[in-house]
Structures are given as structure tokens and as C-alpha cells.
Structure 1
Amino acid sequence: MEKLLKQATVATEQGDWFSVTQCLQQLPLHECSYNSSNPETKELPLGLAMALTVLEQGDFQARWDIAKVLPQWGEGIVAPLVQILEDEEKDLEQRWFAGRILGGFNTPDVIRTLVKLLDHSADEELSAIAASALAAIGQPAVEALTDLLVQPESRLFATRALAQMRCLEVIDPLLSVVHDPDVQVRLTAIAALSSFHDDRIVPVFQVALKDYAASVRKEAVIGLGLSASCETELEMVTHLQPLLYDVNLEVCEQAAIAIGRIGTDKAAEALFPVVRSPLTPLPLQLTVIQVLARIETATTLEYLQQALPAIAEDSILEIVRVFGRIETPNLKYQAAKILLDFFESGHPSVETTVIKQALAYSWGQLGVADAMKALTQLQNDPQLSVKLHANAAIKQLQ
């Protein structure tokens, strides 16, 4: 042991943090016992002092390595690590590692210490570190964090800590703050509740769909979409459909994705007016096209076919592309036939190079022989890129 400590001491003086960590890793566990609450202990054990030096002076990798070694000194390292956490002169990375290590100690003293830091610190970064450490401790910290929800000044960080835990015990405390005046508290709680299945949660999402904050509405839409099931299809569509016309584009897009997750013709029926409307913003229109294609039924293909003549070229291009990704065997012919009808319709977009390339590629992917005549025609196109796409598709069909 003395030899290891001497080697570690020399390595510390040289700033060779890798060697320090290697030496300390080899110390016998019984030699690493340390009780910081012992009044007779006047200074840190030499090995621990060197480990803390690595934590203070090392780079990220050195700190990462020593963070695996420090816990071998037991609960005695709690006090030194708390000092690092509370020291505003320390760099944030060092404090983060201190909090991360503390998160590995599932003891009442550590929980109380971290809760105290979370409750009394005016430093937002320090509070965030303490919250992450409590989240790492998990279920035993839930009760302590729940008590902090009562106090407005600590509610947000307590909510964030609870949101990082994946245990059923956090559902009740999170439900208690879903109507909080602070948008960030509501947002954090609702986003976290999306990970759980509980009869009390869906009604919370439904209410939050009308929240004045777009960020909260967006998380409520996502949560409701994750709760979608055939048994609640009609009710789900009824609640989500108005959000397709929300003033916030991101909310609209998430509503389309959530409705698409239901995956039925009823869901597609709700999406169809959005895709064909000339007032629909292009990003939303593209999202709805992708969602309808993923539902992949004969009805959704028909809806996209009806939309083709009335939408912008970018959206037409997206429909041509998504048709090429159809995987259901009995729908491939339908998709290829829709593209053939569009190709022969005389629509102005059919004359653009990018659309012709996409048509050729999709026919090749669909593998339907009926497209051979159209591909042969594209082989004679003036544009070389169109010819190449047509040749590649013909080879796939052959």
C-alpha cells in the first residue's frame, strides 16, 4: 500500500492523472475506509486527497476516471464533495462530477444534503446539478423532493428532478403541479407524465391542450398521442383535430403526428382537409403527407391522390417520394397506378426534372411492371439525370 501511495504521490506532483488513478484503483478497500464525521479525523487520507486533486485539476477524461474510484472511500467523501458543489469558485465541470458522484450514495444524509442545496441555492446551475444527483438516487429521494414542491422557489428544480426519475412514485407529485402558474413547471410535469400509463394522466393532457402556452400544448399533444389506442380512437381524434389548426406550427405538426399514430381511416379523414388546403403552411403539409403515407391504407393513398392536383410542387414531390416507400404488397400496385395517372395527366409539375426523377425512382422501388412504358418514355428525356434514373428503374423492374 505504501508503495502505491508513493507512486501516486510522484504522479500527482507530475500531473500524471492517469497514473494517479491507476495507483488509487489498486488500494485495498479496507485501507480506503474514512469517516468524515469522526472528530478525531483532522485531515483527509492521502489517497483521498490525491483523488480530489485529480478531480480538481484533471481534464474531463481524468475526472471521469477518478469519479469511478472516489466512491471506494465510502460516505466519507460526501462532505468534501458537498464543499466542491457549494464552492462558486470551482469550475462547473468539477461541480457536475461532484454531484454525479453524490448521486451514487443512496443514504438519508446525502439526500438531505442535496435537497438542502436544491432548496436554498440561489445558483441555477448548482440547483440543476443537485436535481440531477437526486434523480440518480431515484425512488428514495421522491419524498424529499415532493416536500419541496410546496415552495415556489424550489418547485421548478424539484419538478425537474422528479421528471428524470422513471418510477411510479413520481406520478402523484407530478400530477400535483400540472396546473402550476409557472409555465416551465407545467411543461416539465406534463412531458414527464407522457412516460407513464395511468388513468389519471390522459384527462390532464386533454385539459392541457387548451393551455395558453404553446410549449405546454405541444407536450400535451405528444402525451395524448402516446396514449392513443383503438378503443379511444373517436375521442382521441376529437381532442386532437382542433390542434391541427393551432396558431403555433409545431403544435400543428405534433397534432398531425399524434393523429397519424392512431393509424386508422378515421384518423386519415381528420388529416385530409389539412393536406389539400391551400392555406396550410408547407412544413405542415409535408408532415401530414408523411403521416398519411405511414398509415399506409388504400384510403390514405386515395386521399393523397386527390391532393396531388391542388398542392404546391414541393408537396407533390413529397407524395411521389413517399409512394416509393410503400411496403404493403397489395398497395404497391395502387401507388404505382396513381403515379402513372398523374404522369399522364398533363399537370405542369410533371415537366420538371426533379419530379420526373422522383417518379422514375419510385416506380423502380415499387417494382410494378405497368410503369415500364412511362420509364421508357423517360429514357428519352433531354435531361441526363432523368435518363439515368429511368435506366436504373428499368433495371430494377427487369
Structure 2
Amino acid sequence: MQGNINQLLMQAQTAYDSADWSSLIQYLQQLILVDDEQHSEYLLELALSILEMGDFQQRWDISKVLLRLGNIAISPLISILEDEDTEEELRWYAARTLGEFQHPEAIAPLVELLKTSEDEELKAIAATALGQMGSLAITELSQLLKQDDTRLLAVRSLAYIRTPETITPLLSVVQDAEVAVRVTALEALSSFHDQRVTPVLLQALDDVVAAVRRIAVLGLGFRPDLNSELDLVTRLQTKLYDFNIEVCCAAATALSRLGGDAATHHLFIVLMSPHTPTTLQLEIIPALVWVGTLSGLKYLQQAFNQIQSEKVWQEIVTVLGRVEKPHLATKATEILLEFLNSHHPATEITNIKSAIALSLGQLGNQQAIPSLTTLVKDSNEQVRLHAIAALKKLAPEFLPISLD
């Protein structure tokens, strides 16, 4: 047996000297099965060299060897993870491998990575690694919630993990004095359909901080299943009148997700109000499409005819082209064609006329062919180009042979 080990060690060293990483991986895989930890430090050194210099697949394979080597690999992997000058892919593997160790020593450096790294992919890997540790990481992070100087970091880490086990510790800080802690906890909690979360979100609708109210509004918007029971449309429509415009915009989005004619009606009332800022109007317009009702499209038609705003006209025409449901797409086509043929002042504006052509092409309804054929002959080149592009999608045979 010892002779076999010595032979493998020699072969491994030869492969290392010639940078034959694939062969070295094979020798290391054999050595970890037969070696009695007598040469573990040496094997670790060889394995780390592959992790540092190997290609993607070789790094993937050697990470399994590192796991088999045991806890002696944790410290050097942490050093790689903490070295900001190390290439991101190498740190990616270090984080991933540390997560599979499920060892308490790996928690702090992974948490620190979440705090300091600007690389979103690397942070996601660190969060996944913490998630792999399950209750071990959550227990450690929950302890960090009790300390003022680590509470925000712990909340952010728990938010990245996103497993049901994090609900209880996150609920413990939803009333925290620090705004960032409340916002982070509520945002993470809103992704869970858990009966403990809904009352917290409802209470947060009246938080003194706008950022907290906004998260609560958006979170409740993902619960159409509770709409009837809690009358969410009525609760959220009041936030269309919030003092903070971002909360108002969030309410528009949330109401569109809850759906129904009641939500549509509330959105329309605010859209038509002369006191509504343009920013909010431009948020409500797509919401009236996302809500997925005929009434929403009819309200947009009415708004186009009554509101005197080029930005509003442009947005209405654009979002009507994004309707996907067949019966609604037919109605959207009819509305756009009515705009085009009604001599509305908006249709004299080049950008809007072009947008109508583009939207008609996106909707793909054959009803638009005659009007698009007319637009191909428009005096404005931009309008002609958009009409040609639309006809190419719908009916290229209707394009004239010469477009001069």
C-alpha cells in the first residue's frame, strides 16, 4: 500500500511540474482514497495550485477534492475569498466550496463578502453558500441581529438566503429604529406567503418612512390571493395619494397586480386628475394594461382623448402595443386605428405617429394592414420606416415594390 502511495505521489509531483492539471486531479482523487492523512498538507498544496491555475472544469473537479481533504482546506479558501486582488472566478469557487463545508468558521467571511463586494454574482454565490449551511448560518446570523454594529449586515445576509427558516429572525427586526434594517427585513419577508408576514406588511403601510411604505405596498401587491379577504384594493388605492411619489408609483404597480375592475377604476381616477404629476401618470398608464381588463384599455382610450400631454399620448400608444392576450390585443388594435383615423392632434406629431405604426406591428392584427399601407406613403421618413417595419411583420406582400 505504501509503495502505491509513493508512486502516486511521484506521479502527482511530475504532473504538477509539467502543469498537467487534468492528470494531477486524477492522482489526487486516488490519493485521498488511500492516503491516511499523512500527506494531507502536501495534497492540499497541490489541490490549491489547480484551483488557482486550472480552467473552469478543472476548478470544479478539484473543489470536490478539497472537500474530501476536510477542514484543513477552510483557512486557505477563506484567504482566497478575502483577497480582493484575486480574480473573481477563483473567489467564486472559494465561496461555493466553503458553503459545502458547512463549518462555522466559513460564516463570517461569507457574510463580510456580502457586505463589501460590488460583484452581484459573487454576492449571490456567497448567499447561496450561506443558504447551504441551513440552520447553522441562520443561527449565527440571528445572534448578530442582537448587536447594533452587526444588525444591518445580518439582516442583509438573511435576506439573501431567502429560506422559510429566516422568517422568524427577520420578523424580530421589522420595528427596528434603523430604516435600512426595516426596509431590508420587510423586502425579504414579502417574498414569503406566510400568514405571519401579512399583518406586518399591513402595519408598515402607515410607517413614517416612505421607503418602508413602498416596500409594504409592493409586497401586498404580490398577494392577489388575499385581495377579497383583506380588501387589499381599497387599502392600497389610498397610497396612490401618498405624499411620496415613489409610494404612489408602487401603489399603481401593486394595484395592477391585484387586478380587477375596482383596481382599474381607482387607477383611472388618479390618471385623469389635473393634480396628478406626470411621473405618476406615466406609471399608471402601463398599469392599466398590466391589469389585464378591457376596462383598462377603454380607460386609456378615454385618457388619450381628454388629457392634453404629448408624454401621456406617447406612453399610451406605446403600452397598447405591448398587450399580449388575444382578445385584448384586438381591442388595442382597434383603439390605435381609431386614434390614427380620428384626426386627433397627437397623430400630427411624428414620434406618436411612428409609435402607432410600431405598436400596430407588435400587435400583429391584420386589421391594421390598410392603415399601415397608407402610412408607408407618409411624407415623413421616420413614419414611413416604422410603417414598413410593421408591414414586414404583418403582410410583406402589401409593401410596394418601390418605396421611393
More moved, 314-323 vs 230-239:
230-239
Q: How far, CA to CA, are the matches of 1:336 and 1:51 in structure 2?
A: 63
Structure 1 stretch 195-204 or stretch 90-99: which is displaced more?
A: 90-99
* Aligned twin of 1:143: 139
Answer whether contact 2:99 2:129 (CA < 8 A) is retained: yes
Give 1:352 deviation, angstroms: 2.0
Matched, 1:338 2:342: no
Aligned positions of 1:11-30 closer than 5 A: 11-13=15-17, 16=19, 18-19=21-22, 22-30=25-33
CA 1:312–1:27 in 2, change beyond 3 Å: closer, same or farther? farther
* Paired residues for 1:210-359 under 5 Å: 210-229=206-225, 231-232=227-228, 235-246=231-242, 248-277=244-273, 280-309=276-305, 310-359=307-356
Shift in Å at residue 351 of structure 1?
A: 1.0
Confirm or deny that 1:381 pairs with 2:383: no
Structure 1 residues 317, 130: closer, same or farther in 2, change over 3 A? closer
Aligned-residue offset at 1:267: 0.9
Query: 1:98 offset after TM fit, Å?
Result: 4.1
Superposition deviation, residue 131 in structure 1: 7.0
- Give me the whole-angstrom Cα distance separating, in 2, the residues matched to 1:132 and 1:392: 45
- 1:5 and 2:9 aligned: yes
Contact 1:131 1:160 in 2 (8 A): no
Kept in 2, the 8 Å contact 1:218–1:251? The answer is: yes
Equivalent of 2:365, from 360, 364, 367?
Answer: 367
Query: For 1:218 and 1:187, how far apart are their aligned partners in 2?
Result: 9
**Alpha-carbon displacement from aligned partner over 1:171-229 (angstroms, at most 9, x marks no partner):** 11111111112223222211221221111211211222333444433322221111223
* Kept after mapping to 2: 8 A contact 1:276/1:311: no
Give the 4+ runs in structure 1 shifted more than 6 A. Answer: 85-90, 116-119, 128-132
Pick one of 183, 187, 192 that aligns with 1:196. 192
Instruction: Give the counterpart letter for 2:343 in structure 1.
Output: G
Structure 2 stretches lacking a partner, 5+ long: 118-122, 399-404
180-189 vs 72-81, greater mean Cα deviation: 72-81
Gap runs ≥5 in structure 1:
35-40
- Judging changes above 3 Å, is the alpha-carbon distance between structure 1 residues 145 and 384 closer, same or farther for their aligned structure 2 residues? closer
User: Quick one: distance in 2 between partners of 1:248 and 1:68?
Assistant: 52
Describe the shift of the 1:3–1:289 C-alpha distance in structure 2 as closer, same or farther (beyond 3 A): farther
Alpha carbons 1:376, 1:390 under 8 Å: kept: yes
Residue 365 of structure 2 aligns with an amino acid whose one-letter code is G
Counterpart contact for 2:155–2:185, Cα < 8 Å: yes
By how many angstroms is 1:70 displaced?
0.7
Partners of 2:23 and 2:332 in 1: CA distance: 65
Note the alpha carbon deviations across 1:364-396, whole angstroms, 9 max, x for none. Answer: 535253x56644543442124434544665683
Q: What displacement does 1:4 show?
A: 4.2
Distance 2:203 2:76 in 1: 46
In structure 2, how many angstroms separate the alpha carbons of the residues matched to 1:352 and 1:65?
61
Distance 1:314 1:64, change over 3 A: farther
Query: What is the CA distance between 1:312 and its match in structure 2?
Result: 2.5
Q: TM-score, length-normalised on structure 2?
A: 0.77
Kindly state the Cα deviation for residue 303 of structure 1 after the two structures are TM-superposed.
0.8
Whole-angstrom distance in 2 between the partners of 1:95 and 1:393: 48
Whether contact under 8 Å (2:114, 2:157) holds in the other structure is no
* 2:221 and 2:254 in contact (8 A); partners too: yes
> What is the Cα deviation at residue 259 of structure 1?
1.0
| Residue 350 of structure 1: how far off its partner (Å) | 0.6
Correspondent of 2:73 among 71, 74, 77: 77
Q: How much has 1:66 moved relative to structure 2? A: 3.5
* Structure 1 residue aligned with 2:168: 172
**Structure 1 pair 31/186, CA: closer, same or farther in 2 (3 Å)?**
farther
Say if 1:214 and 1:251, in contact at 8 Å, map to a contact too.
yes
Report the secondary structure of 2:295's partner residue.
helix
Count of aligned positions? 381
Structure 1 residues 230, 195: closer, same or farther in 2, change over 3 A? closer
CA distance in 1, matches of 2:371, 2:113: 70
Partner in structure 2 of residue 38 of structure 1: none
Q: Any idea what SS the aligned residue of 1:224 has?
A: helix
Instruction: State the TM-score, normalized to the length of structure 1.
Output: 0.78
When the two chains are superposed, the root-mean-square deviation of aligned CA atoms in Å is 3.8
SS in 2 for 1:6: helix
In the TM superposition, residue 306 of structure 1 has moved relative to its aligned partner by 1.4
Is contact 1:32-1:73 (8 Å) kept?
no
Give the CA deviation at 1:356.
Answer: 2.2
Aligned partner letter, 1:339: L
Please give the alpha-carbon distance, in whole angstroms, between the structure 2 residues aligned to 1:198 and 1:342. Answer: 46
- Say which SS state the counterpart of residue 161 (structure 2) adopts: coil
Q: Which one-letter code corresponds to 2:9 in the other structure?
A: L
Contact 2:95 2:110 in 1 (8 A): no
Q: Is the 8 A contact 1:118 1:158 kept in 2?
A: no
